[in-house]
Every structure is written in structure tokens, then in C-alpha cells.
């Protein structure tokens, strides 16, 4: 049994069945987790909010060329 790192409810999967790169969704808190390691099991939270907005970030980051 695998517990949600966020709310500690049962994710209803078996640890032995997981592979690296798999995505688990918690039905309790709605979070998604990627399996980044299986021995020991390691989950990292997937946030799909940050990822697509590269354009806006690029604008802000060319303010000061300290290089
Ligand atoms: Zn949860």
C-alpha cells in the first residue's frame, strides 16, 4: 500500500507494481505524483501550473545582464 505524501490517504496501488516515471493521482486531495524512484519508493509532486508559462518568464529574466 502506498500513501499519498500530501494527505496520507491510501493511493490504492501496490508499491511493487510501480515504475519510475509513472504518475499517481490522489483521489483525496487531487494531487498528482510522479514516481521518481522505486527502491526506496520516492514520489514527487507534479505541478502542471508552472510548466507552460515559459514565455512570460523569459520576459522578466532579461532585466539585468550581470554576466
Ligand atoms: Zn492526497
Q: Which residue segments constitute the domains of the chain, with CATH numbers given?
A: 1-49 (2.20.28.160)
10 secondary structure, DSSP code:
B
Closest CA to 20 of 41, 1, 35: 35
CA of 10 to the centre of ligand 1 (A): 8
Expressed in angstroms and rounded, the spacing between residue 33 Cα and the centre of ligand 1 is 9
pLDDT for residue 54? 60
Instruction: Render pLDDT for 8-66 as a digit per residue (tens, 0 to 9).
Output: 999 999 999 999 999 999 999 999 999 999 999 999 999 866 555 566 666 666 677 77
**Can you give the pTM of this predicted structure?**
0.68
Quick one: cell of 30?
Answer: 487531487
In 10 A of CB 67, how many CB atoms? 3
Amino acid at each position: 500500500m502506498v500513501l499519498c505524501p500530501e494527505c496520507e490517504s491510501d493511493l490504492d496501488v501496490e508499491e511493487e507494481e510501480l515504475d519510475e516515471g509513472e504518475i499517481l493521482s490522489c483521489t483525496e486531495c487531487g494531487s498528482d505524483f510522479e514516481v521518481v524512484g522505486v527502491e526506496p519508493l520516492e514520489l514527487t509532486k507534479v505541478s502542471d501550473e508552472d510548466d507552460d508559462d515559459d514565455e512570460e518568464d523569459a520576459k522578466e529574466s532579461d532585466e539585468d545582464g550581470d554576466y
